[in-house]
Amino acid sequence: MTDPSPQPTAGTSRRSVAIIGGGFTGLTAARRLALTGHDVTVYEAGSEVGGLAASTEIAGIHLEKAYHFVYKTDEHTFALLDELGIRDQLEFHLNSSCTVIDNVVYPMSTPLDLLKFSPLKFHNRVRAGVSALYLQFVKDWDKLTEITAIDWLNKYAGKEVTSVVWEPLLRGKFDQYYDQVTMAWLWGRFKQRADSRSKGEAYERLGYLNDGFDSITDALVRDIEASGGSLRLNTRIDRIVEVNGRPHVSIAESSEAHDAVLMTVPSHVAGKLIETARDDAPDYFDQLEAVDYLDAAILLFVTDKPISSYYWHNMNNPDAAFVAFLGLSALVGTENTGGKYVYYAGDYIPPEHEYMSMTEDELRDRWFAELRKVWPLFSPDDVIDSKVYRFRNAQHVVDIGFEEKLADHQTPMPGVFLANFSQIFPMDRGTNYAIRDGEKLAAQIASSF
């Protein structure tokens, strides 16, 4: 294999960087590197950028394919919005939450709601509240990596609280891995939500951009291209190899050389891309292949009649068809959703689950039937438009000992780096941390030249 590109001249600072993946991490890194004078090419296998926050148009409204929001602690998001000049599009709204058990909707937005939560005995309602409050003040979370969430909750929140409230959610989020998830992961979720409450308020506040999250991706792409960078959609990288000390990305029958490559793909995919480096660092590849992933199915639909007045619904029904149901209009107001009502239903499942292969109509029918169990007045005839999305590798499994699976950003192949959401620990994946790691990797790559 020959190197078709010019070799960098000694003393030059401008280098060629390939970014594999056009999600928030890849676009953030690409923008920063392009702005600092490097030649950047973003390779995206799909037809659009944005990753899990990619947008669509439905019923004349621009929306994310999967539900997204901003926490009040998302400082990296705020900094980027300021740089992009779109911070004024972000507004915070009071969140309203509920839990659905046996087709009954129970408010769950405030401590008072928890005290009225009749599926639990009164003393267990208190115990649930005390254990949740305790977690909000935990700072030494390292010890929580040594115990599963189920075991910790059974011990401190109690078996009734765990079986009624937490186990259904963990099963919905992690499927067959539900009893292997480390408590450190759940602590991170508690911490984020607690910090999204304003001082003196019982409710948490969640942020949403008035023009949707594609206002961020559009601005990122604008800056990348204005700085001389390029985006190549529908371009899948087959492998990365080292030739004459430089990483080459292979696309079909062609090969393109760069000075550095940033992979923002799932860990096991990254391992396949740099397979030729396995003999140099087998332990690194063991880390990549040890991370388990779940897929996600999302139903996005718009109605002309409201279904519920709550934003976030935890679906704790036995054998619920999906784990979460969200009413975006209840959070941001119908004035921001074209006067219509926008809903998401979502579930996390193993790759072999039937949701990943059944037809869109089959999934709609099943999930609409689930909604009618809880809200009998809801009719599919009220639906103006709907779309089904399936995402591969949408959630990594954060199990006991997960910190030992954390692969270094610098891979064994010289000039090749990795950044994906499985490297975020103990916090859960999200756009804020994708932005953080995009900036971090841009700086790491620039300093490597």
CATH of the domain at 119: 1.10.3110
151 within domain boundaries = yes
- Based on the fold, state whether residues 343 and 413 are members of the same structural domain: no
What is d(CA 18, CA 230) in angstroms, rounded to the nearest whole number? 10
- Over residues 284-294, the mean pLDDT reads 98
- Based on the fold, state whether residues 184 and 129 are members of the same structural domain: yes
DSSP letter for 7, please. P
What is the pLDDT, as a whole number, of residue 72?
Answer: 92
Decide which of 141 and 273 is more confident: 273
pLDDT-derived band at 5 (thresholds 50, 70, 90) equals very low
- Based on the fold, state whether residues 180 and 271 are members of the same structural domain: no
What is the pLDDT, as a whole number, of residue 1?
Answer: 36
- Residue that the structure tokens 């669509």 belong to: 56
pLDDT in tens, 252-264: 889 999 999 999 9
Residue 201 has pLDDT above 80, yes or no: no
Contacts of 241 (CB under 8 A, 6+ apart): 1, 247, 248, 250, 255, 276
- Based on the fold, state whether residues 313 and 331 are members of the same structural domain: yes
Q: Which residues pair with 195 in a beta bridge?
A: none
- Based on the fold, state whether residues 302 and 386 are members of the same structural domain: yes
Task: Please say whether the beta carbons of 112 and 232 come within 8 A.
Answer: no
Task: Give the CA count within 13 Å in the CB-facing half-sphere of 264.
Answer: 30
- Based on the fold, state whether residues 281 and 304 are members of the same structural domain: no
Instruction: Residue 65: name the closest of 386, 417, 418, 438 by CA.
Output: 386
Contacts of 290 (CB under 8 A, 6+ apart): 405
Count of domains in the chain?
A: 3
What is the pLDDT, as a whole number, of residue 9?
Answer: 37
442 within domain boundaries = yes
CATH of the domain at 360: 3.90.660.20
What is d(CA 258, CA 246) in angstroms, rounded to the nearest whole number? 6
pLDDT-derived band at 200 (thresholds 50, 70, 90) equals low
Q: Measured in whole angstroms, how far is the alpha carbon of residue 40 from the centre of its chain? A: 25
What is d(CA 96, CA 325) in angstroms, rounded to the nearest whole number? 12
- Based on the fold, state whether residues 374 and 438 are members of the same structural domain: no
Range with the poorest average pLDDT among 170-174, 340-344, 357-361, 427-431:
427-431
What is d(CA 64, CA 70) in angstroms, rounded to the nearest whole number? 13
Decide which of 96 and 6 is more confident: 96
Q: Which of 396, 414, 433 is the last residue of a domain?
A: 396
104 within domain boundaries = no
Q: Supply the range of the domain harboring residue 146.
A: 110-195
pLDDT-derived band at 108 (thresholds 50, 70, 90) equals very high
Percent of the chain past pLDDT 70, that is, above it, reads: 96
pLDDT-derived band at 160 (thresholds 50, 70, 90) equals very high
What type of residue sits at position 322?
F
- Over residues 294-309, the mean pLDDT reads 98
pLDDT in tens, 22-77: 999 999 999 999 999 999 999 999 999 999 999 999 999 999 999 999 999 999 99
- Based on the fold, state whether residues 286 and 297 are members of the same structural domain: no
- Over residues 137-160, the mean pLDDT reads 94
Q: Which of 165, 195, 225 is the last residue of a domain?
A: 195
N- to C-terminal Cα distance for the chain? 24
pLDDT-derived band at 137 (thresholds 50, 70, 90) equals confident
What does pLDDT average to over the chain?
Answer: 94
pLDDT in tens, 164-190: 999 999 999 999 999 999 999 999 888
Q: Which of 133, 167, 195 is the last residue of a domain?
A: 195
Q: Give the three-state DSSP class for 107.
A: strand
103 within domain boundaries = no
What is d(CA 229, CA 448) in angstroms, rounded to the nearest whole number? 20
Residue 10 has pLDDT above 70, yes or no: no
What is the pLDDT, as a whole number, of residue 198?
Answer: 67
183 within domain boundaries = yes
What is d(CA 53, CA 327) in angstroms, rounded to the nearest whole number? 17
- Based on the fold, state whether residues 384 and 250 are members of the same structural domain: no
Please confirm whether the linkage preceding 119 is cis (ω < 30° from 0).
no
7 within domain boundaries = no
pLDDT in tens, 211-228: 899 999 999 999 999 999
Secondary structure of 27-42 as H, E, C letters: HHHHHHHHHCCCEEEE
For the purposes of burial, counting CB atoms within 10 Å of the CB of 129, is it exposed (0-12), middle (13-18) or buried (19 or more)? middle
Q: Which two tokens stand for residue 221?
A: 């792409």
Task: Give the CA count within 13 Å in the CB-facing half-sphere of 190.
Answer: 22
Contacts of 381 (CB under 8 A, 6+ apart): none
- Based on the fold, state whether residues 303 and 180 are members of the same structural domain: no
Residue 195 has pLDDT above 80, yes or no: no
- Based on the fold, state whether residues 127 and 166 are members of the same structural domain: yes
φ/ψ (deg, to 5) at 383: -80, 120
DSSP H helices in 24-144:
24-35, 75-84, 111-115, 122-136
* Rounded (5°) CA angle 349-354-360: 105
Residue 11 has pLDDT above 70, yes or no: no
102 within domain boundaries = no
Range with the poorest average pLDDT among 191-195, 349-353, 398-402, 439-443:
191-195
423 within domain boundaries = yes
- Based on the fold, state whether residues 188 and 143 are members of the same structural domain: yes
Instruction: Residue 273: name the closest of 281, 263, 283, 282 by CA.
Output: 263
